[in-house]
Amino acid sequence: MEAILKAVFEKVQSACKDGCYAIIDSAEFADAVPDGERKTPGEIDGALKTLQKGGFIDIKYARGDMYCVAALKSALPEEKEEPKECSPTVIEVKEKFNSRAAAVYSACAFLGGALGSAIICLITTLL
């Protein structure tokens, strides 16, 4: 579709000097479209409407396959390149292993489990 848009805009721009309107036949638009692209009237009409919505051309009227158009801008915006796919950067964080803290946490977990079991045993014996 980009090739059709560019060809249609260039045709309008070459026909409309000094901001004046020009009457262009859809066959002229089809001749301007490069080979290998679809040149159906629907494609050309869609390209004209897209250019009009973008503010590049003005369509005063369209009757049948005749269009009264004027170029509003001097050039289409340049196509932007797709950003290259980047691999994410992996940052490894190495923590210092503190064996003393690990021993304290393990002992606290063991004592907490033993205390909880003792409380449950005490409750069940009283009931």
Cα 35 from Cα 109, distance rounded (Å) = 77
pLDDT at 76: 67
Which residues, 6 or more positions from 31, have their beta carbon under 8 angstroms from its beta carbon?
none
Its pTM surpasses 0.85? no
CATH topology of domain 2-71: Arc Repressor Mutant, subunit A (1.10.10)
CA distances 48 to 1, 77, 103, Å, are: 11, 16, 76
State pLDDT tens for residues 44-91: 888 888 888 888 888 888 888 888 988 887 776 665 555 556 666 666
pLDDT at 121: 93
Which residues, 6 or more positions from 18, have their beta carbon under 8 angstroms from its beta carbon?
none
- Where are the domains positioned within the chain? 2-71, 97-127
pLDDT at 47: 85
